[in-house]
Structure 1
Amino acid sequence: MEFKLKKGDWIFFLVCLALGILAERSFLHGIIGLSYPVFITCFYGVFFWRYRSFSFTNKKLGLLLIASIWLLSLSFFLNSNMVLYMLNILVIPVMVLIQLVLVTYPVENQWHRWPFVQNLFLSVGAAISYVFRFIMYAPKLAVRGLEKSKSATIRKIFIGVAISFPLLFVILNLLVSADQQFGNLLGTIPRWLLALKIEEEVLRTIATAIYTLVIFGILQVLRTSRQPLPSEPLTQKEKMAWDSVISLTVLTLLNMVYLLFVVIQFKYFFSETLKEGYTYAEFARRGFFELLSVTMLNLLIISTLVSFVEKSSKLMTLVIRVFLSLLVFFSGVMLYSAFIRLFMYEEAYGFTFARVLAHSFMIFLLVILCYSLMRIWMDRLSLVRFYIISAIIFYTLVNTIQLDRFVVERNLERYSETGKIDIHYLNSLSYEGVEGLMELYEINPEHPGLSDLLLQRKQDLQYSVKSWNSINMSRRSAEKTLKDLELE
């Protein structure tokens, strides 16, 4: 098929070029801040303008994804947690790609099936192919309308420039030898070129071109009408069904093991006794990750059996549902046990971002377990859809809620009770940690090493380079408070 571009496509390419320039200015000039929500807003403005007459599908989930993407980009402006910062650099582009393919996917409400995942990869491949053809044929398309005489003239000009280079080299050397002032004038040109940082500018130009071509390619490809991939036939799904007797046997053995484990857990946490030789902190550290892994494995087993166990007699179906419900109950007890273990560990060693994040993830797993219990008894519910939507909401909330601030407050409360706090860990957090150090300074300015740490942070903030794309409200708040803080 011949590659063709209409006049509107060239205009859109120029718009994408402007987006590419904005992307390079937003992401490759220091730490990202305000520039990310600005870019996302401009990008979706261009997207909706380009697709203004397009009939979108999966609108509800598409709007949820757009809201999540914008909130995640806004976190670069409001928060300063480096873990989430690095993670979102990878997550947001993937979410944007999924959202774009989702709302242009030709099938409504089929986004939780495997053909949609295949379509994601096919869309990326089609965009790469489109960009390659554009690069190959764009020069031909640009000169297609020129007359042969003009084309020949341009070719002769290039030949003349190539011939002139060796002549100019000889002539300039002779003129420099003849006139020293002329030589001094030419000597300023290399210094001027060095001031331009040519290598850096070339790399930035390449980055701008890549951003432009990626945006142009994916938005051009998704506008074309595409046929959905054929779904798996029903007979194939029936072949994947798990035997009910085998499933019941597996559930019975699992529940027996978990029953014994739960009895031991109740002995520990309600009789306040521990295995001899272990402190609470050691006990918590030994079992937390194992219990969390078992809970997630149980969720996989529950979702698999609910989706693929074969339909048999009403009695067998009822028994399997009861045993699945028991598995959910035991999973909930193990999740609670892991929650308590982590809480004990925090009491012994303090609160950190990773531990608070693990606590929030366990709350997310609890919500998943509750919904899975409902799905066991209600066939019309969809597990995969709920898992995907709840995961999007959970990740967005983690970025929206200031977990670093929560960690700082809990550690300050622990300090008021025990007198223990790790100021170096607070310093390693985002700028919320710096504000926590300043609050600690107001409580106890004599704390060992605290004034030196704050003085160092004050100097770092004072001499750091500031630009519009790196504007961050968390940083500005810390700067203002540090500026007003009088260190002894």
Structure 2
Amino acid sequence: MNEQEMNKVPAPGFVPVVNPMSAAIPPRRQTERYKRVLSAAESEKGLAATVFSVAFGILFTETVFLGAMGISVTVLTAILCSFMLVYFHEKGERLSFKGVLLTVPIMLIAAGFGLHYNPAVQMMTVPALLGLAAVQAILLSGGRLNTLLSFDTLAKAANHLVARPLSFLDMPFRSLRAVRKIKSPKTAAVLKAAAGLALALPFGAILLLLFARADSVFESGLNYITQTLHISFGKLITDLLLGSTGAIVLGAYLIAAKVEGKEPAKDKAASRFIDTTVGTAFLSVINLILLLFVAVQFQYLFAGSAGRMVSGLSYAEYARKGFFELSWASGLCFAAAVFILCFCKKGQNGLPIAVRVLVTLMCTCNGVILASAVLRMGLYVQAYGLSVKRLLTLWFMAVIGVCLIWLVLQCISEQFNALRFIGATAIVFVCVLSLVNVDRLIAHYNIERYIKSPAAVQLDASYLSDLSYSALPEVAQLYTSLKDDSQPLRNELNGVMEEMRSSYEGRHRIYGFTAEDAEISGFLASVSA
């Protein structure tokens, strides 16, 4: 053995170091995580999740996505919440109390869709309903959330509802193997009946089309039924395609969420990164600006309360001047206060007293800004009436005003969790917004304002046509009460009611049904008579 060969011999006790990056990665199907999810997919509950997802996906596409947001939203929300409560429940284990409690606001928001047609607020209620349903799904499946409004919640929602289902899109298909393992005769009978119904649908559709072509009387009756129920055989194909696609994602989530372990709560202290000196300096400068502005605002408030205007401005000019800027400023100050309280580093005794005092001062000044903004908008509404945008803006300012109180209370006592109350406040206000008939409320206010002072107030009939048919009872009552000398306004209101009639008759009679439909139909019949 030469010297080079001796150098190649390892010394006694030598253990070679293996680079972990070069280690072989096991195939996906051999990982423990995949095996756990596969086991859940091939169980009876996994099969139930797949069957439910397919049925729910098709129903959602037909009734809501391609149908109308009415009683369909209320019914489907109740079905989804009921299934999740049953599906995630295990013997000997308790469901998340927060997840169960969220059923109340979810159903209240969904109930608003079944009470009245409220398209003006759907930009608020629909995202809120979807967001709360997503949070409920995370909590019921074992996920843990520190607060409803946080970056941690957004990250977990993306992981639970997007990344996880996309990783197990094959599980709904593999769950079909569970049919051979079912031991319960009742369950097997139900699944077989469901399979028979699924096979009968396309076969029955073909027979109906053939019979309609063969017999004109049968075709006439079939057309009457399909037109009354707004059923289209071509649309059913779209329902199957889109609904099945969504069902794959929903089924993958339900199956994977059933076995994924509970996640530990994130350490709140580790997320605080703003230095106390930086926060104090920032708040000092902002508060100085706010105090200067508030000093000026007291002059405007006192002038407004005394009926005096500044520089001879009209009501519209006074109200419009700076209102939206004040709204933005109030929102920015509120966001800055929340940011500082959440991410400023704490000392041994908690958040420094200087930071708490400065945040309290910021919230107080923000309250004055809100008062000034609400006063300006109040003057505008008093002079020119109410609109959807004005009402929603006042609603938003009310939310900010209540939330400012929670921030001040947290500054006084750090044991008070302001974010929890802010989330609860937002939920309560959205529930109220969903349950209130906004369009009818706006029409009622503007019409009553006109009736009290017909000579001084001009009714904008063209704006009433922008409201939904939920406002029709108010318009119809004004129309019938007008005298013959108000013929131009009667003509305008008649055109408004015709537009509302067209919108009402264009809605799906079943999917878009609301509790006010009977009243709407009665007013339409009385006006026509």
Report the TM-score when normalising by structure 2.
Answer: 0.73
Aligned equivalent of 1:71: 108
In structure 2, do the counterparts of structure 1 residues 138 and 14 end up closer, same or farther at CA, with 3 Å as the change threshold?
closer
Q: Does 1:96 align with 2:96?
A: no
In structure 2, do the counterparts of structure 1 residues 299 and 57 end up closer, same or farther at CA, with 3 Å as the change threshold?
farther
Q: Does 1:256 align with 2:293?
A: no
In structure 2, do the counterparts of structure 1 residues 482 and 252 end up closer, same or farther at CA, with 3 Å as the change threshold?
same
> Aligned partner of 1:484: which letter?
S
> How far off its partner does 1:428 sit?
1.7
> How far off its partner does 1:425 sit?
1.5
Aligned equivalent of 1:176: none
In structure 2, do the counterparts of structure 1 residues 9 and 340 end up closer, same or farther at CA, with 3 Å as the change threshold?
same
> How far off its partner does 1:331 sit?
0.9
Tell me which moved more, 356-365 or 50-59: 50-59
Task: Say which SS state the counterpart of residue 131 (structure 1) adopts.
Answer: coil
> Aligned partner of 2:423: which letter?
I
Write the deviation string for residues 359-385 of structure 1: whole angstroms up to 9, x where unpaired: 121111111111111111101112222
> Aligned partner of 2:517: which letter?
R
Q: Does 1:242 align with 2:275?
A: yes
In structure 2, do the counterparts of structure 1 residues 486 and 70 end up closer, same or farther at CA, with 3 Å as the change threshold?
same
Write the deviation string for residues 327-365 of structure 1: whole angstroms up to 9, x where unpaired: 222111110000011111112321101101111211111
> How far off its partner does 1:429 sit?
1.1
> Aligned partner of 2:159: which letter?
L
Aligned equivalent of 1:293: 328
Write the deviation string for residues 414-466 of structure 1: whole angstroms up to 9, x where unpaired: 21223311122122212232122112213325325235325624752785465
> Aligned partner of 2:477: which letter?
E
Aligned equivalent of 1:471: 513
CA distance in 2, matches of 1:338, 1:321: 25
CA distance in 2, matches of 1:47, 1:280: 53
Give the one of 150, 153, 157 matched to 1:120. Answer: 157
CA distance in 2, matches of 1:317, 1:53: 45
Q: Does 1:336 align with 2:371?
A: yes
Is the Cα–Cα contact under 8 Å of residues 106 and 129 in structure 2 kept in the other structure? Answer: yes
Is the Cα–Cα contact under 8 Å of residues 115 and 230 in structure 1 kept in the other structure? Answer: no
CA distance in 2, matches of 1:97, 1:404: 29
Report the TM-score when normalising by structure 1.
Answer: 0.79
Aligned equivalent of 1:181: none
Is the Cα–Cα contact under 8 Å of residues 26 and 39 in structure 1 kept in the other structure? Answer: no
Q: Does 1:9 align with 2:65?
A: no
Is the Cα–Cα contact under 8 Å of residues 294 and 365 in structure 2 kept in the other structure? Answer: yes
In structure 2, do the counterparts of structure 1 residues 204 and 292 end up closer, same or farther at CA, with 3 Å as the change threshold?
same
Give the one of 371, 377, 390 matched to 2:425. Answer: 390
Task: Say which SS state the counterpart of residue 170 (structure 2) adopts.
Answer: helix
Aligned equivalent of 1:276: 311
Q: Does 1:402 align with 2:437?
A: yes
CA distance in 1, matches of 2:387, 2:480: 22
Task: For 1:296-335, list aligned pairs within 5 A.
Answer: 296-311=331-346, 317-335=352-370
In structure 2, do the counterparts of structure 1 residues 220 and 301 end up closer, same or farther at CA, with 3 Å as the change threshold?
same
> Aligned partner of 2:319: which letter?
A
Structure 2 unaligned spans of 5+: 1-28, 30-34, 182-209, 224-230
Aligned equivalent of 2:469: 431
Give the ranges of 4+ consecutive aligned residues of structure 1 lying more than 6 Å apart after TM superposition. 138-144, 195-198
Give the one of 52, 55, 59 matched to 1:18. Answer: 55
Structure 1 unaligned spans of 5+: 145-184
Tell me which moved more, 246-255 or 323-332: 246-255
In structure 2, do the counterparts of structure 1 residues 332 and 15 end up closer, same or farther at CA, with 3 Å as the change threshold?
closer
In structure 2, do the counterparts of structure 1 residues 303 and 465 end up closer, same or farther at CA, with 3 Å as the change threshold?
closer
In structure 2, do the counterparts of structure 1 residues 66 and 11 end up closer, same or farther at CA, with 3 Å as the change threshold?
closer
Cα root mean square deviation, aligned: 3.5
Write the deviation string for residues 206-242 of structure 1: whole angstroms up to 9, x where unpaired: 12313432332222222113241673585x446x142
Give the one of 235, 242, 253 matched to 1:218. Answer: 253
Is the Cα–Cα contact under 8 Å of residues 284 and 345 in structure 1 kept in the other structure? Answer: yes
Write the deviation string for residues 120-144 of structure 1: whole angstroms up to 9, x where unpaired: 2222221222223544x57888899
Aligned equivalent of 2:498: 456
CA distance in 2, matches of 1:100, 1:356: 32
Is the Cα–Cα contact under 8 Å of residues 468 and 500 in structure 2 kept in the other structure? Answer: no
In structure 2, do the counterparts of structure 1 residues 311 and 72 end up closer, same or farther at CA, with 3 Å as the change threshold?
closer
Write the deviation string for residues 378-421 of structure 1: whole angstroms up to 9, x where unpaired: 01112222222221222111111223232122212321223311
Tell me which moved more, 377-386 or 88-97: 88-97
CA distance in 1, matches of 2:86, 2:434: 29
In structure 2, do the counterparts of structure 1 residues 11 and 309 end up closer, same or farther at CA, with 3 Å as the change threshold?
closer
Is the Cα–Cα contact under 8 Å of residues 283 and 358 in structure 2 kept in the other structure? Answer: yes
Write the deviation string for residues 64-121 of structure 1: whole angstroms up to 9, x where unpaired: 4211221222112112121323554444233212211122234475666644432222
> Aligned partner of 1:397: which letter?
V
Write the deviation string for residues 39-69 of structure 1: whole angstroms up to 9, x where unpaired: 122222222232232635541x324421122
In structure 2, do the counterparts of structure 1 residues 221 and 270 end up closer, same or farther at CA, with 3 Å as the change threshold?
same
Aligned equivalent of 2:527: 485
> Aligned partner of 2:434: which letter?
N
Task: Say which SS state the counterpart of residue 340 (structure 2) adopts.
Answer: helix
CA distance in 2, matches of 1:139, 1:309: 52
* Paired-residue identity, %: 20
CA distance in 1, matches of 2:302, 2:268: 52
